[in-house]
Structure 1
Amino acid sequence: MQVTVEGKSVSLVGNPPEIGTQLPKFKLWDKDDQKVKTANLLGTLTLISVVPDINTSVCTMQTRKFNQQADHFPGAHFITVSTNTIAEQAGWCAAQGVQNLDVLSDADESFGYAMELLIPDTGTLARSVWIVDANGQIVYRQIVPEEVDEPNYLDALNELEKLTSRVDDN
């Protein structure tokens, strides 16, 4: 699959998983340098916001937007994933006051390869938004075609709203 970065076409390491498939196995690292595996994300509805570099303006806007929205969805877990180091992410979170979501590091590119979102030329991930149900099935995906563009927040949040209301109805 290809996306563009400032209009220049770049290839991902493969084709990211489709809606209806299981979240692949990967590992990420949290702010305490603890391993977070795919299995740790099961059991609750999860929105995964993927950003290329937490220290850039569009990635900052994306992460702050989802951080602001997390309170409106108490039945969902919000995470942001980037290839930035734990130290870079911790500094960014402290400066931005991000506390409503988990920021996880894919510095070793396990998530990027498993989800086939890694851009090997830059060592970053393709900007995307994923929603995964409690069983680990991908129920929403949005891969942003141009890396410097923001995702369609409203589309992702509307889907999350539908999914959380279904969970609440059960």
Structure 2
Amino acid sequence: MASIKLGGNPANTVGELPSINTTAPNFKLTKSDLSEVSLSDYSGQKVVLNIFPSVDTGTCAKSVRQFNEEAAKLENTKILCISKDLPFAQTRFCGAEGIENVEMLSDYKTGSFGQEYGVAFADSAFESLLSRSIVVLNQDGQIIHTEQVQETADEPNYKAALQALMNA
């Protein structure tokens, strides 16, 4: 269980992020067209998992915009923005914002991603939503960088995630 903060108040997650230098756990998430996708669908590519509570909050929206801008510059890299938002809300946001370089994925059906990656809030007003985290994978599916943002309202360290990609 990780101890983080939500609006300055203590909050906990159901577990810890997977360890660096381990193979990332496979997952099944829902795409905007309601089809299912798994991590194995991105085999051979570098992957950034941009995990957050809801695209309808300012910091979460900013992280999607920032990674969308950066993703356009990266070769053989997929940016997966993961929340429990319904795919309809994710599609609406991307359309309104002109987001085209990231993939929005939802854990709304089972919540198993949040459990498996240890990022689901175990308590607080955000119980069961996903805590703001970054997981970077190399093209072999090995975890090369992680960050669980200590204060949910804060942005992740984009520079560190992108540097990990460049060094992969």
**Which of 86-95 and 152-161 deviates more?**
152-161
Structure 1 residue corresponding to 2:150, chosen from 135, 145, 148: 145
Q: TM-score, normalised by structure 1?
A: 0.91
Give the whole-Å Cα distance in 2 for the aligned partners of 1:85 and 1:161: 32
Q: TM-score, normalised by structure 2?
A: 0.92
Corresponding residue for 1:111? Answer: 113
1:139 deviates by 0.8
State the 4+ residue runs in structure 1 displaced beyond 3 angstroms.
Answer: none
Give the whole-Å Cα distance in 2 for the aligned partners of 1:45 and 1:113: 23
The question of 1:32 aligning with 2:37 is answered no
User: Alpha-carbon deviations, 1:39-58, whole Å to 9, x = none?
Assistant: 11222111111111111000
The answer on whether the counterparts of 2:138 and 2:165 sit within 8 Å (CA) in structure 1 is no
Corresponding residue for 1:62? Answer: 63
Q: Please report the RMSD computed on the Cα atoms of aligned residues, expressed in angstroms.
A: 1.1
Q: Which blocks of at least 5 consecutive residues in structure 2 are unaligned?
A: none
Count of residue pairs the alignment pairs up: 163
Map 1:46-85; keep pairs closer than 5 Å. 46-85=47-86
The one-letter code sitting in structure 2 at the alignment partner of 1:110 is S
Give the whole-Å Cα distance in 1 for the aligned partners of 2:27 and 2:161: 23
Corresponding residue for 1:168? Answer: none
Give the whole-Å Cα distance in 2 for the aligned partners of 1:142 and 1:80: 15
Q: Which blocks of at least 5 consecutive residues in structure 1 are unaligned?
A: 164-170
1:120 deviates by 3.1
1:67 deviates by 0.1
Identity in percent:
30
1:160 deviates by 1.5
SS of match in other structure, 1:125 = coil
